[in-house]
Chain A
Amino acid sequence: MAMISELQAPPRDRLSRARTLHWALVGLLAVCSLASLQVGATDITLTTLLGKLATGETLGRMERVVLLDIRLPRLALGALVGAALAVSGAAMQGLFRNPLADPGIVGVGAGAGLGAILAIVLGALLPAWAVGTVGNQLVPVAAFLGGWGSTILLYRVSTRGGRTSVATMLLAGIALGALAGALSGILVYIADDTQLRDLTFWGLGSLAGASWAKVLAAGPLIALSLGAALMLGRGLNGLALGEATAAHIGIDVQRMKNIAILAVAGATGAAVAVSGGIGFIGIVVPHLLRLASGPDHRALLLNSALLGASLLILADVIARVVIAPAELPIGIVTAVLGAPVFLWILLRRRGLVDT
């Protein structure tokens, strides 16, 4: 034992560096949040409002609406969605042991897309009493149910005797994606051209429909799912050594899979439901963080949440200022910024993706 104590004080390792990064990213999130409140199509700024408040002036109706009913819920929704997508990406990559996995693998995207198309195209046919309670939120509700439902379906297909086969899940996901694509195709065929444009815009994603109602609906679900996902760090680390070794070092692998899949379905399902299809956050954010501070999931998951939230808020700021008073779908911004990074990852990792 004397020998062991001599060897104490290990070098400052990557984990503690990654944990220092938490604070830097909290700072980044704060800066992005302030920017999001400061900048917009109107020339109302946070600084002038704070100035007014300091001198005891009351805010105008317009100022209150822009700040409290437009920018603030949008900021909250952007942070929730960004964190949900990035953490889900990191968790899926850990679970599938592949840096290019994303939540789409467990069928969330295909299922949510099908749900949204169903709601957009067939929603108009529903009798008023059936829509009554759900009302204008039919598309998000259907998207969430579609995403969640297809994940549960995949999960059941790939679970035999209490063990979930990740490989089966991957294959079943491809089949389910094809099926959802075909059903969507049928619906697209019977859609009118207004519905088609709605579909296109939904697919590109946007936070323009942000409201406190959406924040309150998606917030608790995303928060709960992220909370569960953030506890998976050690288990996902172990899984990097393979399922057998993970079990040998004391990880309840099946329980971890259950938590990971449910958390990803919940977080991504809710995120996609309120914002439509937003790509690349789930792949680019964890990858950048692995480059910066190593693959240790105990820090990676939380860092992904922080960086994902920051980047999505930033992308939203760009989306709404660049062609003001109109705005770009945010999916276009994340794709334009994210796709080159994604290609770069592919080029750098060509050897590893195949193994």
Chain B
Amino acid sequence: MTRLRSIRPVLATLVALGMAAGSAGAQQTEQADVLSIGGSVTEIVMALGQGHRLKARDSTSTYPPAVADLPDVGYMRALSPEGVLSVGPALILSEEGAGPVEAVEVIRAADVDFVEVPDAYDASGIMNKITIVGAALGVPDRAAKLADTVGADLRTAATLAESWTGARKRVLFVLSTQGGKITASGTGTAADAIIRLAGGVNAVTDFTGYRQLSDESLGLAAPDLILMMDRSGDHAATVDDLFAMPAMQLTPAADSQALVRMDGLLMLGFGPRTAQAVTRLNHALYGERS
């Protein structure tokens, strides 16, 4: 409980940040009573200029950096009911799949509004997320404006992706290279979606979800570019390490040393910054064109 008190100054800073982002003066009186669960939802709340209303976040909410100072209620699929209630939320905004089920039931029983934001891997889905979050926060106008902006950005990015008339490059999303074994993305994932949005072709379409690839099927996949998350730990293979792997040496990507790293939430979060991710990946694939 003393812990919560020590966080008050941080919250004050956040409130100030929110106002600096252009919020109306009336919002000063609003209480910070929103718990945001899921990286993209938190990003949307911040982008709507409602950061001052955030009371806490989950462990996947890492952007913008300012949210790191909020209390963390843990991994979204293993929530502690009392932990969630202890931050005193009046509203919980959550991506799909928060759990365990019993915890969510108890939280709902405690008179806390619980709004679930459906996952989506396309432009209209992202705009839908923004609309839902905006409605839940009572700022539908801002949400409409943000959705328009984000939608326009995504259209621009899509136009850019479609403007390439040459051969489409094959992209392999590598989730991890732990123990010399490559876990890559098939279809139906956020990674697959971002590759397609950026005008690339997913090099692996034989399976859905993330799987380990055998050395030979990696050769057959023949990726022109490797896409990875920019994270520490086992994901942090260096360019040299990655392309020194025997299976990798057979790929066109190894010849051109084509590796793109991007922040996981930026690339796979499908929030307000997705257009940015699409453009960056497109540039990496086909070069910057006017």
Contact = CB atoms under 8 A, between A and B. Distances in A.
Given A62-B110, A192-B209, A201 B82 contact: no
Interface stretch (A27-35, A36-44, A95-103, A148-156): A36-44
B78 A329 contact: yes
Task: Please classify how large the interface on chain B is, using the bins under 10, 10 to 19, 20 to 34, 35 or more.
Answer: 35 or more
Contacts of B211: 189-190
Contacts of B1: 43
B269 to A, nearest CB: 15
- For B87, B175, B212, the residue with the greatest tally of chain A CB atoms inside 10 Å of its CB is B87
A194 B38 CA distance: 13
A325 B111 contact: no
Contacts of B59: 326
B83 interface: yes
B201 to A, nearest CB: 22
A193 B210 contact: yes
- For A40, A43, A70, A190, the residue with the greatest tally of chain B CB atoms inside 10 Å of its CB is A70
Interface in B9-61: 56, 59
Contact of B82 (A71, A136, A197): A71
B82 A209 contact: no
A210 B81 CA distance: 10
Contacts of B81: 70, 208
A325 B81 CA distance: 9
A353 interface: no
A206 B99 CA distance: 12
Interface string A42-73: 11000000000000000001100110011100
A325 B102 contact: no
A320 interface: yes
A206 B100 CA distance: 10
Nearest to A195: B209
B101 A209 contact: yes
A148 B79 CA distance: 29
A91 B117 CA distance: 49
A41 B85 contact: yes
Contacts of A70: 81-82, 85, 106
B77 A208 contact: no
Contacts of A323: 74
A320 B77 contact: no
A41 B106 contact: no
Task: Please classify how large the interface on chain A is, using the bins under 10, 10 to 19, 20 to 34, 35 or more.
Answer: 20 to 34
Contact of B102 (A192, A198, A214): A214
B175 A194 contact: no
A211 interface: yes
A197 B58 CA distance: 15
Interface string A165-194: 000000000000000000000000110111
Contacts of B78: 201, 206, 208, 329
Nearest to B108: A65
B56 A211 contact: no
A65 B110 contact: yes
A40 B82 contact: yes
A324 B85 contact: no
A243 interface: no
Given A41-B83, A42-B86, A198 B74 contact: no
Interface of B: 1, 3, 56, 59, 71-75, 77-88, 97, 100-103, 105-106, 109-111, 175, 209-212
23 contacts: A40-B86, A41-B80, A43-B1, A65-B106, A65-B109, A69-B106, A69-B110, A70-B82, A70-B106, A192-B209, A194-B77, A194-B97, A201-B75, A208-B81, A208-B102, A210-B102, A211-B102, A323-B74, A325-B84, A326-B59, A326-B75, A327-B80, A329-B78
5 interchain residue pairs of minimum CB distance: A326-B74, A41-B86, A325-B83, A327-B80, A65-B110
